[in-house]
């Protein structure tokens, strides 16, 4: 089926988080989220979300660069060129280097559109194999250890299968020790968001005592080789997040044993087609992957759910219930988690959730339409 996009609708919404989220690179209290709607001649549509943050801290991209890149370079390409399948949309945008989160917003919207037109749930259209996903939570840096322990307690009683805590210098070994003392047997991991260097090898050696499932992205955001050196020094598996932007990065990292697990994020790799490539590369090498999160609204969350149904996603992801982030989500029903700590992939076409247009309109702070002519 040839797809001809007549309109790309670009909008920014503001959404306040229920609770601030703090990582080694900073604290977020309100999201500035770009949503993309692609529309065909027959009025069929698809929705995507840009996962860029409010500043260039997790990666170079942020809300403003994504807005301008989509508006000036990416949307004009997809409204001018027909394509045979959503699988080719990232090729159309190849002339633009980097800006993967901006690209993913459009590319994932095209996948939703294509799945809706085929009357298939997106996860089945992508080749997903499981209808129920294991879920974990990512818990940010808190104001006190007590607050952290309380949060963990709450998430465990909600059923979540593994706990990830954020670490940074000064909030690491002692915190992990307290968490392990209180919860000796839970599946536990730590995410450093690039806050350390090879000078910290002794610190990571000491973490081997805590039986962590993995340590996520301890070293530089664009590094692979130093992670390989660190991995050779410790027993705990390393997991790469920031460093893996493509299937080639995954291949390089696995070739040199820089990690034993990969976190896949749709925005970071540039969309569903690229995510599938990373997943396939890891799966052929028996390396497990899981789906990371970027504090997404319901639309990005629904895309994460679809991606997580692929065969290689065997570990619990950072995909959790809408209510952990928002008083009211922009999809209906909101994402919920079973008492076993799982999410059911929806059966409806495309993303499988209703898009709450009225709510989205009321949250919109700017809107732009890009048409072929
Ligand atoms: O490193 O996984 C990360 C949030 C923003 C930026 C980077 C990361 C995160 C999370 C939150 O860990 C995951 C989520 O709950 O969406
Ligand atoms: Mg991470």
Q: What is the CATH number of the domain that holds 361?
A: 3.30.390.10
Q: Are residues 292 and 149 in the same domain?
A: yes
> Do 283 and 178 fall into the same domain?
yes
Q: How far is CA 295 from CA 21, 147, 322, 363, in A?
A: 9, 20, 10, 17
Region at 327 (left for phi over 0; alpha for psi -120 to 50; beta for the rest): alpha
- Are the C-beta atoms of residues 111 and 78 closer than 8 Å to each other? no
Claim to verify: residue 202 and residue 319 sit in the same structural domain:
yes
Ligand 2 centroid from CA 113, angstroms:
29
Residues 143-192 have pLDDT tens digits of: 999 999 999 999 999 999 999 999 999 999 999 999 999 999 999 999 99
Domain harbouring 315, CATH code: 3.20.20.120
Ligand 1 shell residues, CB under 6 Å = 23, 58, 138, 191, 193, 241, 292-295, 318
Of 103, 124, 164, 265, the catalytic one is 265
Number of Cβ within 10 Å of residue 338's Cβ equals: 12
- Give catalytic status of residue 356 as yes or no: no
Q: Rounded to two decimals, what is the model's pTM?
A: 0.98
- Is 151 catalytic? The answer is no
Q: What is the pLDDT of residues 72-98, one digit of tens each?
A: 999 999 999 999 999 999 999 999 999
Is the backbone peptide bond immediately before 130 cis, with ω within 30 degrees of 0? no
What is the 8-class DSSP label of residue 341? S
Residue 344 CA, chain-centre distance (Å), reads 18
The rounded Å distance from CA 7 to ligand 1 centre is 31
The rounded mean pLDDT for the chain is 97
Q: What is the pLDDT of residue 88?
A: 97
For residue 318, the ligand closest to its alpha carbon is: 1
Residue 369, pLDDT > 90, answer yes
Same-domain check for residues 135 and 273 = yes
Calculate how far, in angstroms, residue 373's C-alpha sits from the geometric centre of ligand 1. Answer: 38
Which of 119, 117, 86, 116 has the alpha carbon at shortest distance from 104? 86
Percent of the chain topping pLDDT 90 = 99
pLDDT for res 1: 78
Evaluate whether residue 176 is within a structural domain.
Answer: yes
pLDDT score of 356 more than 70: yes
Sheet holding 5-23, edge to edge: 45-50, 26-40, 5-23, 364-371
311 and 360 belong to one structural domain:
no
> Which atom of ligand 1 has the smallest separation from the CA of 191?
1
In this prediction, residue 32 carries a pLDDT of 98
Q: Which domain holds residue 318?
A: 124-344
- Give the number of whichever ligand sits closest to the CA of residue 166: 1
- Tell me whether residue 163 is in a domain: yes
pLDDT value of residue 14:
98
Q: Which tokens in the block code for residue 359? A: 């709510």
Q: How confident is the model at residue 274 (pLDDT cuts 50, 70, 90)?
A: very high
Inter-residue contact 62 to 54 (CB < 8 Å)? yes
């Amino acid at each position: 089926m040839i797809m001809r996009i007549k309109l790309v609708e670009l909008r920014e919404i503001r959404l306040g988080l229920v609770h601030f989220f703090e990582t080694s690179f900073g604290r977020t209290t309100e999201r500035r989220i770009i949503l993309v709607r692609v529309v065909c001649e027959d009025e069929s549509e698809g929705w995507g979300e840009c996962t860029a943050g409010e500043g260039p801290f997790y990666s170079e991209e942020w809300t403003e660069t994504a807005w301008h890149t989509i508006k000036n370079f990416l949307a004009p390409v997809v409204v001018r060129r027909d394509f045979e399948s959503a699988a080719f949309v990232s090729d159309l945008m190849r002339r633009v280097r980097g800006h993967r989160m901006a690209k993913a917003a459009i590319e994932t919207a095209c996948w939703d559109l294509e799945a809706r037109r085929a009357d298939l749930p997106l996860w089945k259209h992508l080749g997903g194999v499981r209808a129920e996903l294991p879920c974990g939570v990512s818990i940010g840096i808190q104001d006190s250890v007590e607050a952290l322990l309380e949060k963990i307690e709450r998430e465990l009683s909600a059923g979540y299968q593994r706990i990830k805590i954020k670490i940074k210098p000064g909030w690491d070994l002692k915190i992990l020790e307290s968490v392990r003392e209180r919860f000796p047997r839970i599946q536990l991991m730590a995410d450093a968001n690039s806050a350390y260097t090879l000078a910290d090898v002794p610190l990571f050696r000491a973490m081997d005592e805590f039986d962590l499932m993995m340590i996520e992205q301890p070293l530089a955001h664009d590094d692979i080789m130093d992670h390989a050196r660190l991995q050779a020094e410790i027993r705990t598996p390393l997991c790469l997040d920031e460093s893996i932007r493509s299937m080639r990065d995954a291949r390089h990292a696995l070739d040199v044993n820089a990690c034993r697990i990969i976190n896949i994020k749709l925005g970071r790799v540039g969309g569903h087609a690229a995510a599938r490539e990373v997943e396939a590369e890891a799966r052929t090498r028996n390396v497990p992957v899981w789906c990371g999160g970027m504090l997404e609204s319901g639309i990005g969350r629904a895309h994460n759910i679809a991606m997580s149904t692929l065969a290689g996603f065997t570990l619990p992801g950072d995909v959790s219930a809408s209510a952990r982030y928002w008083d009211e989500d922009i999809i209906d029903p909101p994402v919920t988690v079973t008492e076993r700590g799982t999410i059911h992939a929806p059966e409806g076409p495309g993303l499988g959730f209703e898009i709450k247009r009225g709510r989205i309109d009321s949250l919109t702070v700017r809107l732009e339409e890009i048409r072929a002519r």
